[in-house]
Copies of this chain bind each other. A is one copy, B any other.
Amino acid sequence: MAWDAWGDPTAAARLTDAQLALVHDVLQVSADDVHAVERQDVRLRPSTLTDDDHAELAAAVGAEHVGAADDDRLLHAGGKSTLDLLRRKSSAEQDAPDAVVAPGTEGEVAAVLAVCAERGIAVVPFGGGTSVVGGLDPIRDRFAAVISLDLGRFDALADLDEIDQVATLGAGLSGPEAERLLAARGYELGHYPQSFRYATIGGFAATRSSGQDSAGYGRFDDMVRGLRVVTPRGVLDVGADAPKTAAGPDLRQLILGSEGTFGVLTAVRVRVHPVPETKAYEAWSFPDFATGAAAVRAVEQAGTGPTVLRLSDEVETALNLATVSDAGSSGADDKPQDGGCLAVTVFEGSSALVEARHAATRELLTASGGTSLGAARAKQWAEHRFDGPYLRDPLLANGALVETFETATSWSKLAAVKQAVTETVQRGFAEAGSAASLVLCHISHVYDTGASLYFTVVGAQRGDAIAQWRAIKAAVNDTLIEHDATITHHHAVGADHRDWLAAEIGDLGVEILRSVKATLDPAGILNPGKLIP
């Protein structure tokens, strides 16, 4: 990925004239308000690794796998949150890991951890570099130096059992690499978060990622059957061959979501399924968000079995519609959408099951006040499902402040949480002097007892944009805690949500995490400053 933007530089998005005008006229900002920095002007904090540190790390993994050049360090300096991207635009000295170390075996990971524990070097495990919660911040904590531990060499499909439908995937495989290896055998994982093109299998597990097909295939934590974790105390292999067990607490669920603070994931055993025989798509319109939310709830609680089930609110629907219209690709056989809220359904599997699931879902959505818009708009969503993050970069460059975040709560509290968060964001932008702000929201992950809410917010950058966003996000987190909604549904805790974790899981919950951490990582070198307060 680009060092200062999302994704492939050749795929960078440009704003349309209409979008530029919107930023200009409504937010009253422009590119002139934004400080830009070219790559050659970036100044990185000098590495604090000693020659001895470097020599020992090189001895552990081979000199060619220790990157100390500024280009390596800069590409591992953080993730892709708006805060990360704003930091990259600074002319002041930027922080970065002191080296990038890329072990190729579990033994080498263990050797690196031993060197770091011995010499007091913090370790930040690095997969695809897509964290949006500060999970890759090069935090030194009490240590003299920090390295980025790049898992990119753990890139094998080690095993695929077609009877069990279980694959053992290297933690460093990106989403597309993993799917390509599986597809060659006729299988797929079916995990498609928006970060899919770059994020890795290890990252999905470490952060409890959730993909857009979660209604059908579950979250990533639902897919995991076993994990191999190299800790400073040895290798932990959790999850035997048994799909489920009553042999005590489920240690898989303790490693999932541990964000590199307990150990380094090297391989993940996941449930896979044959590439589906057929897919069916249908988009729907609902008069308002409350009606649409009740409809998707009815579908999920009845268990009619869509693979994708999502609902955009009125604002997001209106803005997506503008994009669709720009793209000019709405199918001629589709009904136009006149306001309201767009829902997308996708069904996958055998023809017979897809037909039955589609019919049962259609019946419920119709009975719940939905109007079918046909297939084209749902297909279009699927085609562009990974493109969203590209739009943020030109918006940031033109003076807008854009970010996304997500939560989850029970169905009965969904409306109240959505409203409270929206008001908090709008108040935050107003207090910072933004001429206007937009809050878009959708439900993208549904459960029998509740759902996620995913927010995209846009305002004007005012003054120190980093401080501005920190203040708004802190107010959002406070609002979520106040409403008993989780501080993160699938982005994880990282550095950015860490100050709110105790409010979510309680002081005793935090003590549990600390005790596990102390057992597995007694020197405390693994990802300090992340997750555990």
Q: Which residues on B sit within 8 Å (CB–CB) of A221?
A: 244, 250
* With known contacts A303-B353, A349-B303, A219–B241 Cβ distance under 8 A: no
Q: Is the CB of A488 within 8 A of B256?
A: no
Complex partner residue of A251 from B301, B356, B409, B512, CB under 8 angstroms: B512
Complex partner residue of A257 from B210, B249, B508, CB under 8 angstroms: B249
* With known contacts A302-B350, A360-B352, A360-B353, A490–B246 Cβ distance under 8 A: yes
**Min distance, Cβ A295 to any Cβ of chain B, angstroms:** 13
- State the CA gap A492–B249 with chains docked (Å): 10
Q: Which of A37-45, A147-155, A280-288, A443-451 contacts B (4 or more CB under 8 A)?
A: A443-451
Interface size class of A (residues with CB under 8 A): 35 or more
Q: Is the CB of A255 within 8 A of B249?
A: yes
* With known contacts A349-B302, A353-B303, A245–B512 Cβ distance under 8 A: no
- State the CA gap A163–B236 with chains docked (Å): 41
- State the CA gap A445–B508 with chains docked (Å): 35
- Tell me the residues in window 506-533 of chain A with beta carbons closer than 8 Å to chain B beta carbons: 506, 508-509, 511-516, 518-520, 531-532
Q: Of A237, A349, A352, A484, which is in contact with the most chain B CB atoms at under 10 Å from its CB?
A: A352
User: Is A407 interfacial (CB-CB < 8 Å)?
Assistant: yes
Complex partner residue of A486 from B233, B240, B487, CB under 8 angstroms: B240
User: Is A19 interfacial (CB-CB < 8 Å)?
Assistant: no
Q: Is the CB of B301 within 8 A of A273?
A: yes
Q: Which residues on B sit within 8 Å (CB–CB) of A243?
A: 408, 410, 447-451
Q: Is the CB of B247 within 8 A of A505?
A: yes
Q: Which residues on B sit within 8 Å (CB–CB) of A250?
A: 221, 250, 253-254, 256-257
Q: Is the CB of B241 within 8 A of A448?
A: no
Q: Which residues on B sit within 8 Å (CB–CB) of A18?
A: none
Q: Is the CB of B251 within 8 A of A505?
A: yes
**Min distance, Cβ A518 to any Cβ of chain B, angstroms:** 7
Q: Is the CB of A247 within 8 A of B486?
A: yes
Q: Is the CB of B259 within 8 A of A248?
A: yes
User: Is A327 interfacial (CB-CB < 8 Å)?
Assistant: no
**Min distance, Cβ A209 to any Cβ of chain B, angstroms:** 8
Complex partner residue of A246 from B489, B512, B515, CB under 8 angstroms: B489
User: Is A497 interfacial (CB-CB < 8 Å)?
Assistant: yes
**Min distance, Cβ A259 to any Cβ of chain B, angstroms:** 7
User: Is A296 interfacial (CB-CB < 8 Å)?
Assistant: no
User: Is A312 interfacial (CB-CB < 8 Å)?
Assistant: no
For residue A481, which residue of chain B has the nearest CB?
B240
User: Is A373 interfacial (CB-CB < 8 Å)?
Assistant: no
User: Is A411 interfacial (CB-CB < 8 Å)?
Assistant: yes
Q: Is the CB of A410 within 8 A of B508?
A: no
- State the CA gap A237–B240 with chains docked (Å): 29
Q: Is the CB of B447 within 8 A of A244?
A: yes
User: Is A485 interfacial (CB-CB < 8 Å)?
Assistant: yes
Complex partner residue of A164 from B410, B492, B519, CB under 8 angstroms: B410
User: Is A242 interfacial (CB-CB < 8 Å)?
Assistant: yes
- State the CA gap A301–B349 with chains docked (Å): 11
For residue A263, which residue of chain B has the nearest CB?
B508
Q: Is the CB of A487 within 8 A of B247?
A: yes
Q: Is the CB of A515 within 8 A of B518?
A: yes
Q: Is the CB of A164 within 8 A of B247?
A: no
Q: Is the CB of B242 within 8 A of A210?
A: no
For residue A413, which residue of chain B has the nearest CB?
B241
- State the CA gap A486–B169 with chains docked (Å): 23
Q: Is the CB of A242 within 8 A of B408?
A: yes
Complex partner residue of A254 from B219, B240, B249, CB under 8 angstroms: B249
Q: Is the CB of B505 within 8 A of A515?
A: no
- Tell me the residues in window 141-166 of chain A with beta carbons closer than 8 Å to chain B beta carbons: 161, 163-166
24 A-B residue pairs with Cβ-Cβ distance under 8 Å, sorted by A, are: A161-B412, A163-B410, A164-B410, A231-B508, A234-B508, A241-B413, A242-B486, A243-B448, A243-B449, A244-B447, A245-B487, A245-B489, A247-B487, A247-B488, A247-B501, A248-B257, A248-B493, A248-B501, A249-B255, A250-B250, A273-B448, A512-B516, A512-B520, A515-B516
Q: Which residues of A contact B (CB under 8 A)?
A: 161, 163-166, 207-210, 219, 221, 225, 231, 233-234, 236-238, 240-259, 271, 273, 297, 301-305, 349-350, 352-353, 356, 359-360, 363, 407-413, 445, 447-452, 484-493, 497, 501, 504-506, 508-509, 511-516, 518-520, 531-532
Q: Kindly list the 8 A-B residue pairs having the minimum CB-CB distance in the complex, ordered from nearest.
A: A253-B253, A243-B447, A242-B486, A356-B356, A245-B486, A208-B246, A242-B408, A243-B450
Other than the given A240-B486, A249-B255, 16 more pairs (CB < 8 A) read A166-B410, A233-B511, A238-B505, A241-B486, A244-B445, A244-B452, A247-B493, A247-B497, A247-B504, A248-B258, A249-B257, A271-B448, A352-B363, A512-B516, A515-B515, A515-B518
